[in-house]
């Protein structure tokens, strides 16, 4: 009976998923020759069909963050001290998201659903913003000069790399300084991230490698070699890694073990000169429906954010009439792993969070589905847990 239930659940997921499709897009920030003109270039998942996505109101762009629920994309600009906001479909400039920042570089949404922003100029703390652009605080107790890499460990401690300091500093969950974590074997660190083993990987801009450090900050080995002026990194669901390589004006792809696969985005494609941010984006494409097939009630399930996520993500949905609503999470095999909503909901927009901390025996990374059901309405979307 249990196996039958799992198979039926999987069948429902597959039928629901067939109502839409997911496509992957790659966005690359081009620092050019560290002078204007700058641009953000969009490629398909094969690194082909380049097109200039954004080329206005940019001033040495540094990072790219999509806020899918708002249908906007944020770009940090080192030279203007601004984070600018654009339409995520058209690339059209909307307004400033935030200003008065001392050279914003990397941006990342934390587990608290706040945007963390690093600063290049001076010795400045990490800033936090609500996702509507409202300033929250200067989060860290001390600043990090030329900060340009950010990530968290499994305990929620924050790590920030310093390009000119050749080091990585550690902060606790409240932003208190815990001192330097990495102090050796670096020559201009940029992006940093933790792997499934808890090791810290550091893209070393002038060190021609991505370097691995253990949980105590000790150098272990070169994880990826053969890169130069490396900046900008993101990950495919299968574990493959994309890294911008400034020396060859390309974006290289490596497998999860650090082995070179190919230049997914070849040298100079789309006019690319100096990649300094690489972002993968999954876009949901809905089928065109005739008006006669549309319900008079409005139900909607939005893409979770952040996505990929770790350890928690936010899910928004809309209910068109008073209905009994269920919102459940399933693994890739169709097994239910969490029930987020199971009650009557009034018409309107609703928000719920899914956290992996309450789920036992959950893999560190993987693809999951979440499904909204209200009366005859059923919609399913995919989300990615990535560490």
Phi-psi region of 270 (alpha: psi -120 to 50; beta: other; left: phi over 0): left
Residues 276 and 258 in one domain: yes
For residue 225, give the CATH number of its domain. 2.120.10.30
- For residue 48, the 8-state DSSP code is -
Residues 210 and 321 in one domain: no
Asked which of 239, 269, 284 is the last residue of a domain, the reply is: 284
Residues near 200 by Cβ (< 8 Å), separated by ≥ 6?
151, 153, 159, 168, 181, 182, 192, 193, 194, 212, 213, 214, 215, 217
Asked which of 232, 260, 284 is the last residue of a domain, the reply is: 284
The mean pLDDT value for 115-128 works out to: 97
The mean pLDDT value for 368-375 works out to: 89
Q: Which residue has the higher pLDDT, 18 or 56?
A: 56
Residue-wise pLDDT tens digits, 254-272: 999 999 999 999 999 999 9
Helix, strand, coil share (%) of the chain residues, nearest 5: 10, 55, 40
At 12, which helix (H) or strand (E)? helix 2-17
pLDDT at 87 over 50: yes
Residues 337 and 214 in one domain: no
Residues 47 and 126 in one domain: yes
Residues near 297 by Cβ (< 8 Å), separated by ≥ 6?
320, 321, 377
Residues 175 and 259 in one domain: yes
Asked which of 229, 263, 284 is the last residue of a domain, the reply is: 284
Structure tokens, 93 = 């400039």
Residues 37 and 184 in one domain: yes
pLDDT at 14 over 90: no
Region of poorest pLDDT, from 73-87, 133-147, 163-177, 345-359 = 345-359
Q: Please check whether residue 48 is in contact with residue 39, taking contact to mean a CB–CB distance below 8 angstroms.
A: no
pLDDT at site 80: 98
- For residue 304, the 8-state DSSP code is P
Q: Which residue has the tokens 């083993």?
A: 197
Q: Please check whether residue 354 is in contact with residue 338, taking contact to mean a CB–CB distance below 8 angstroms.
A: yes
Residues 249 and 276 in one domain: yes
Residues 353 and 215 in one domain: no
Number of domains in the chain: 2
Residues 137 and 249 in one domain: yes
Q: How far apart are CA 246 and CA 233, in angstroms?
A: 12
pLDDT band at 39 (very low <50, low <70, confident <90, very high): very high
pLDDT band at 360 (very low <50, low <70, confident <90, very high): low
Residues 138 and 36 in one domain: yes
Q: Which residue has the higher pLDDT, 69 or 153?
A: 153
For residue 338, give the CATH number of its domain. 2.60.40.2550
Domain around 343: 2-18+290-385
Q: What global pTM score does this model have?
A: 0.74
Residues 118 and 179 in one domain: yes
pLDDT band at 284 (very low <50, low <70, confident <90, very high): low
């Amino acid at each position: 009976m249990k196996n039958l239930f799992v198979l039926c659940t999987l069948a429902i997921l597959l039928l629901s998923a067939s109502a839409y499709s997911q496509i992957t897009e790659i966005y690359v920030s081009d620092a050019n020759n560290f002078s204007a003109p700058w641009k953000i270039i969009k490629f398909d998942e094969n690194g082909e069909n380049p097109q200039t996505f954004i080329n206005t109101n940019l001033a040495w762009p540094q990072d790219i963050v999509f806020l899918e629920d708002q249908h906007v994309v944020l770009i940090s600009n080192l030279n203007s001290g601004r984070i600018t906001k654009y339409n995520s479909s058209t690339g059209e400039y909307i307004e400033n998201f935030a200003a008065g920042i001392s050279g914003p570089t990397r941006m990342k949404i934390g587990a608290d659903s706040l945007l963390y922003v690093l600063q290049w100029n001076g010795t400045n703390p990490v800033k936090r913003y609500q996702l509507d652009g409202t300033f929250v605080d200067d989060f860290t107790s001390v600043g990090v000069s030329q900060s340009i890499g950010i990530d968290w460990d499994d305990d929620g401690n924050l790590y920030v790399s310093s390009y000119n300091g050749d080091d990585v500093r550690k902060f606790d969950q409240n932003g208190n300084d815990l001192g330097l974590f990495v102090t050796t074997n670096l020559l201009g660190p940029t992006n940093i991230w933790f792997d499934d083993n808890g090791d810290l990987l550091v893209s070393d801009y002038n060190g021609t490698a991505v370097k691995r450090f253990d949980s105590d900050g000790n150098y272990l080995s070169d994880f990826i070699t053969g890169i130069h002026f490396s900046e900008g990194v993101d990950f495919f669901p299968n574990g493959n890694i994309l890294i911008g390589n400034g020396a060859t004006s390309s974006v290289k792809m490596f497998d999860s073990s650090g082995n070179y696969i190919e230049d997914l985005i070849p040298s100079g494609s789309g006019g690319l000169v100096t990649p300094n941010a690489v972002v993968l984006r999954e876009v949901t494409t809905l089928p065109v429906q005739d008006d006669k097939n549309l319900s008079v009630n409005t139900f909607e399930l939005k893409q979770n954010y952040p996505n990929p996520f770790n350890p928690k993500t936010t899910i928004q949905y809309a209910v068109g009439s008073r209905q009994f609503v269920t919102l459940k999470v399933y693994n890739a095999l169709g097994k239910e792993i969490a029930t987020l909503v199971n009650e009557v909901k009034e018409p309107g927009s609703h928000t719920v969070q899914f956290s992996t901390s309450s789920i036992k025996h959950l893999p560190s990374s993987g693809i999951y589905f979440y499904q909204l059901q209200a009366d005859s309405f059923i919609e399913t979307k995919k989300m990615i847990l990535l560490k």
